[in-house]
Structure 1
């Protein structure tokens, strides 16, 4: 995955975060507990530096929204086109948050095409789809091989609940996700370009969004529609990423 981001390594700069990443937080290359696409789990190179720059922008956007508020921060990684790029970016972004000492929850809301469980090598259920079927149920997030990173996968028979997901706000499900100590939640939402109208309701209450576009696939008009809907709902766009 190659990244070209609109965010820059300045401002709320990555280096100012206490307990920042170091080699001790990396897994050994080839560790089977995490998919190689989650490059931030294994490496500290230019690509990972770009992911950390996105993290810095998310932190800055969250601070602007909440100041010193201690509640859980909610960030969505929204893909415009079909494909697994938003899920891969979400997994890497969640990893660099966990590496800096922030207990992080990663949620797979891509019910039509789940990917997070495979990337972090956790069971596919229970997850988001199971919460939708049983609104009173509590889903315990699954530990990953990355310290401080927990996953709520898409869940069992997730595709059957995809349309149900878009009828309400994701923030209403947060209390169903048992994530002890979590301070940051990142939600992967791929392929939203043709479901823009649902996006505003779905992300009501979120602190910020990262928009993921794919070179030669994503239409500029689709990106603008997503940004316009988010702007109308007062949901800040922390940055956009071209993959």
Structure 2
């Protein structure tokens, strides 16, 4: 006579030993663990694996951005000197009309004034490329403070170069200059930046190039690492 089969216990009465448990890891794998220790290990590993390579803190990044901004802005001294040296001269001539001195353009169809703006723009683009490349080689990573510092430094450098070039160039009082050289004598006009948009050539070039270099050659975010078998399905009952 066959003994009656005992029905399996309800799911809520099954032994805790039948439940699936994640594989233990670490030196204390065979010993008892405090409640929540497994989660603590995962959280600690995630912190080291994901956030440990995010770079320095925000305060450090802001300090670095300030230093970079100041260093880039000082490059405006060289830009202003080059602009004063390479920009074409706009010829002027003075004359006396009814007892008053009047200054005219000697060549009314000349493009020297356009060349002055173009020279500043080209130099600004070149300085933007060089500054972005140097900053990227020194700090091979991105970051909002770093990019903002680079752009602000380029803008400040352009403003410094503009004012320095005007100061190094011919005197801005053209009437007094015409009186000094005499009637009908050609002299150079002061440096003048007609297109103020040229001031943005340096920061825009630095910003675009640095973002491109960071996107192509910058460090990648590490992939999250999970313990082996952390997501294995529980064995069938």
TM surpasses 0.5: no
Q: Which has the larger radius of gyration?
A: 2
TM-score, normalised on structure 2?
0.23
Q: Relative contact order, CA 8 A, sep 6+: which one is greater?
A: 2
Quick check: which one's helix share is greater? Answer: 2
